Amino acid sequence: MAAGRRVGLGPRSHPAMAPWKKKRLRKRRTGASQARDSDSEDGEFEIQAEDDARARKLGPGRALPSFPTSECVSDVEPDTREMVRAQNKKKKKSGGFQSMGLSYPVFKGIMKKGYKVPTPIQRKTIPVILDGKDVVAMARTGSGKTACFLLPMFERLKARSAQTGARALILSPTRELALQTMKFTKELGKFTGLKTALILGGDKMEDQFAALHENPDIIIATPGRLVHVAVEMNLKLQSVEYVVFDEADRLFEMGFAEQLQEIIGRLPGGHQTVLFSATLPKLLVEFARADFLLPCA
C-alpha cells in the first residue's frame, strides 16, 4: 500500500464478515423463520378445531391433521361405557315411569297428564302388578293409588279386543268414586283405544244394558248395581282377567260383602286381583286370604 493513501471505512460500513460467520447467521434466521411459521400454524389449528367451517378458507395447501372419529376405539372407551352403564342403572333404580317398560300409548297418556315422577306407592306396586301378581296394598286417597291399578291394566289389555265380554273389572264403594275413576281412566288411557262401561246405581238400567252389549274392555261399577245387572242379563263375567277392589275397606263397611261374594262366583279362575285399601281390618285380611289367596303387601 502506498504511503499517504489510506483505505478507510464509511461511517456505516462494517468489517468484512468471514464466510463461516455468514453461514451460521443464515442458519439462525432460517430456524427462527420456521419457528414463527410453526407457531402460526398451531394457532390456526386451534381455531379450526372449534370451527370446521373455517377450514375451507385455508385452501388446499394447508392440510390439517385429521381428528379421530366415533368409530375409532380409544383407551378410555371402556371406562366411558362403564360410566354410562352406571348412570343408566342409577336412573332405572330411581324408579321413573320410563324404567317400568310401559308401552308407548300408556307412557304417552302419563306424559299427557303431566306426571313426571311416580309416587312411592306407584313405584312400589306398579312393577309387581305388571308381573301379573295379586296384590293387597294400603294406600290413602291422594297417594296416586288409581294409577297403580290403571297403568298395569292398560298394559295388560294392550288394545281394543274383538272378543266378547269385558276383560277388566273395577269395583268402587260409591258412585262418586266410580265416576272419578271413570274420568281418570279416560284421561290416562286416552291413547290405548280401550272402551269402558260405567254401571252405577241411579242411572237407567236400559242404558247400562246397552253399554254392556257394546262389548266394553273395562267395567267400572258399584257392587250392588253390578249384581242387579248381572242377574237381569245373566252376565257371567267369564272373560274378566283383571279385577280391582278400590277402597276395599269401605266396600265392607258399607255392607257389600254379600254382593262381592256373588260377583266373585261369576269370575273365572286364574284372574289377577288387585286390592287397595286405606286400612286393613281383620275382616278384610281374612276375606283377601280366603277368597283370593292374596299375600299382603
CA 201/CA 221 separation, integer angstroms: 9
pLDDT of residue 281: 87
At residue 251 the predicted structure's pLDDT band, cuts being 50, 70 and 90, is: very high
β-partners of residue 272 are 242
Rounded Cα distance between 202 and 59, Å, is 84
Does residue 129 lie in a domain region?
A: yes
Report the pLDDT value the prediction gives residue 273, as an integer from 0 to 100.
94
- SS3 call for 10: coil
Whole-model pTM: value is 0.67
Residue 103, domain member (yes or no): no
pLDDT confidence of residue 7: 45
pLDDT winner (highest mean) among 2-11, 50-59, 157-166, 227-236: 227-236
Q: With bands split at pLDDT 50, 70 and 90, how would you rate the model's confidence at 187?
A: very high
| Nearest by Cα to 263 from 283, 296, 238 | 238
Mean pLDDT estimate for the chain: 77
Report the domain count for the chain.
Answer: 1
Q: Is 34 within the bounds of a domain?
A: no
Residue with cell 294406600: 139
Grid coordinates belonging to 174: 260409591
Whether 235 maps to a domain, the answer reads yes
Q: What are phi and psi of 136, to 5 degrees?
A: -115, 125
User: How long a stretch of residues is the chain?
Assistant: 297
Assign residue 115 a region (left: φ > 0; alpha: ψ between -120 and 50; beta: otherwise): beta
Q: Does residue 182 lie in a domain region?
A: yes
Q: Is the pLDDT of residue 70 over 70?
A: no
Residues 199 and 220: their CA atoms lie apart, in Å, by 6
CATH number at residue 228: 3.40.50.300
Q: Is residue 77 predicted with pLDDT exceeding 90?
A: no
pLDDT higher than threshold 50 for residue 144: yes
Q: Is residue 26 assigned to a domain?
A: no
Q: Is 120 helix (H, G, I), strand (E, B) or coil?
A: helix
How large is the average pLDDT for residues 162-184?
94
- Any alpha helices (H) in the chain, and if so which ranges? 19-50, 77-93, 104-113, 120-130, 145-157, 175-188, 205-213, 223-233, 248-253, 257-266, 282-287
272-277 vs 242-245, strand pairing mode = parallel
The grid coordinates of residue 16 equal 468484512
Task: Flag whether 141 is in a domain.
Answer: yes
Q: What CA dihedral angle connects 243, 195, 216 and 116, to 10 degrees? A: 0
| pLDDT for residue 244 is more than 90 | yes
Per mean pLDDT, which range of 48-62, 115-129, 145-159, 227-241 is the poorest? Answer: 48-62
Q: Residues near 69 by Cβ (< 8 Å), separated by ≥ 6? A: none
Q: What is the pLDDT of residue 292?
A: 60
Domain span at 166: 118-292
Question: Per-residue pLDDT tens for 190-238?
Answer: 999 999 999 999 999 999 999 999 999 999 999 999 999 999 999 989 9
Q: In which order are the strands placed within the sheet that holds 218-221? A: 135-138, 272-277, 242-245, 168-171, 218-221, 196-199
- 103 vs 44: which has the higher pLDDT: 103
The least confident of 25-39, 45-59, 214-228, 282-296 is 45-59
**Cβ contact 172:150 at 8 Å:** no
**Chain-centroid distance, C-alpha 16:** 86
pLDDT at 50: 38
Secondary structure (3-state) at 226: helix
Residue 247 has pLDDT above 90, yes or no: yes
pLDDT at 140: 81
How far apart are alpha carbons 257 and 121 in whole angstroms?
26
Q: pLDDT tens for residues 7-41?
A: 444 445 455 555 555 555 555 555 544 544 444 34
Q: Is residue 206 part of a domain?
A: yes
Average pLDDT over residues 68-80: 45
